[in-house]
Structure 1
């Protein structure tokens, strides 16, 4: 539907730090539109995601995840946010839903292992690191093996989640991992508004109440404050990744994570480099990774 006000500023990302691959802004905007206009859907086991390589998984008992051969399959898909109730949506996944599905899977006596089926470019800072801590604690408490199978990519917030939750990470040769950094954007509409003949007057109480508003240039001090917040969040991100990968047996220090400078490791050469660095454990097609995990947890490895 076209915007009713031709002078209205276009919708943009919120002026807050995000854990998102910088190249996926258009995808994130599309996801937000899909979320905003989606009809009501039943948040139930019937919505559980089953990826192409494990179709046919049983859902007779209405588990809130895909289930096959003793494996709970939990989708980490699309735009990640702190609250999103629908399970199995390819456009978005909620940290609250991932926590719920993981809790159920680790408590389910029929589940011998958990596979995270990942195709996400990242999302919100809010809620991400609390979920990372919780998923790491769940795996430790239950003792059940958890793998992350990228099909095709796990960037930024998605990578933070799987680095904490999984004991191993596989990525296909055309996929990617990484983008361990923080980003935000500020749009200044003052020039456009002047061109349109519009003027916005901000009336507020509190010196910093209007910090980051889109109707004037970003002051140097506000930019410096935001930069400090981004830097602190990136350090927390690096610490989270290092702790998770160290627990999985990879030798990946905080300094090494920071040294990636939020680079993405994608394509045949860089996915191999990701394994060398310890960001991933194997370069495998998703179907092969899933089959290997099923064989391992069922005791029929070759």
Structure 2
């Protein structure tokens, strides 16, 4: 037998070349895909960073003001909006903190309390009232003006009466100088359902506000005395703040809890004029540029408050477990 050498066929060489070319194209496509993915990654990172900057600018506009915005002569504006209560936007801590910053700012020419509130806690309102009067004494050259927009009632008017002057719109609702504390009684309903209420207390009158127990005449009178005492304190504060401008001798119904329009309130001495915040800044204070000193919580804080503490507060108020309210 003889060994014969055979040359590789041309078809086998062509197959190898095709395989290498296919592999090369595959590797190039992979490299291009990686480059493309890197470019998109950089783009999305830049987009995310830009988005975060915009969100921060929206949530924290004070960052945009800088120091130059408050160095000019301006009118400081502080919002008193919503229920006046602890842990709310219109709490004493927030309003007093804003007032102190506004008074201490060298560019402040006057301060406007922009009020839109139905009232609330007499304690919180009293804290704010006292601090306004103290700051007015410490900074006699800076006047405080209260401007009622839609509503300035009860505890909100308590606060407004500490200002140098009060203004409102002709259709604003002003007044409601009174005190209220409301609850429910479920005693008869429980009797019909056959439900027995068991309360264990230490102290004869510890559960006197319990809506599931019958009222006792002496406890009802005691609670009425508490409300009347709070009402008297409210009246005295308003008289001290408004002085002779308040026509209470000719109109004793001023302290009955009624509410009036801005036009009527002007005749009764509850307000000093009809004007908006902008008009007060321009015409009365003489500083048309306004700077907002209102202390605002973050959106997360407001959401948490609404879903948590505020729900508990409303439930306690509904059950009659909260204190008196200026309304």
Bin of the TM-score, shorter chain as denominator length = 0.5 to 0.7
Question: Which entry has the higher C-alpha Rg, 1 or 2?
Answer: 2
Change (3 A) 1:93 1:155: same
SS of corresponding position for 2:185: coil
Distance 1:274 1:242 in 2: 15
Aligned to 1:111: 108
Deviations 1:145-167 (A, max 9, x none): 11111112210000000101x11
Q: Is the 8 A contact 1:82 1:128 kept in 2?
A: no
Cα drift, residue 294 of structure 1: 4.5
Query: Structure 1: any 5+ residue segments left out of the alignment?
Result: 1-41, 49-57, 85-91
Aligned to 2:257: 262
In the alignment, structure 1 residue 281 sits paired with structure 2 residue 272 = yes
Q: Is the 8 A contact 1:153 1:171 kept in 2?
A: no
Distance 1:102 1:278 in 2: 25
Aligned to 1:60: 66
Cα drift, residue 230 of structure 1: 1.0
Cα drift, residue 251 of structure 1: 2.9
Higher relative contact order (CA 8 A, sep 6+): 2
Distance 2:251 2:87 in 1: 28
Aligned to 2:245: 251
Change (3 A) 1:231 1:253: farther
Residue correspondence of structure 1 range 93-104 to structure 2 within 5 A? 93-104=90-101
Aligned to 1:223: 220
In the alignment, structure 1 residue 142 sits paired with structure 2 residue 133 = no
Distance 2:67 2:101 in 1: 13
Deviations 1:241-272 (A, max 9, x none): 111112xxx43377668541121112xxxx23
Change (3 A) 1:175 1:77: same
Distance 2:277 2:169 in 1: 7
Distance 1:96 1:256 in 2: 37
SS of corresponding position for 2:179: coil
Cα drift, residue 224 of structure 1: 0.6
Query: Structure 2: any 5+ residue segments left out of the alignment?
Result: 1-55, 290-327
Distance 1:254 1:223 in 2: 29
Change (3 A) 1:67 1:222: farther
Change (3 A) 1:228 1:208: same
Distance 2:268 2:109 in 1: 29
Residue correspondence of structure 1 range 1-302 to structure 2 within 5 A? 46=60, 59-61=65-67, 70-84=74-88, 92-143=89-140, 144-164=142-162, 166-246=163-243, 250-252=244-246, 259-260=253-254, 261-266=256-261, 271-295=262-286
TM-score, reference length from structure 1:
0.67
Q: How many aligned residue pairs are there?
A: 229
Deviations 1:204-260 (A, max 9, x none): 1210111111112322111111111111111110110111112xxx43377668541
TM-score, reference length from structure 2:
0.63
Distance 1:237 1:79 in 2: 17
Q: Is the 8 A contact 1:46 1:59 kept in 2?
A: no
Distance 2:251 2:74 in 1: 34
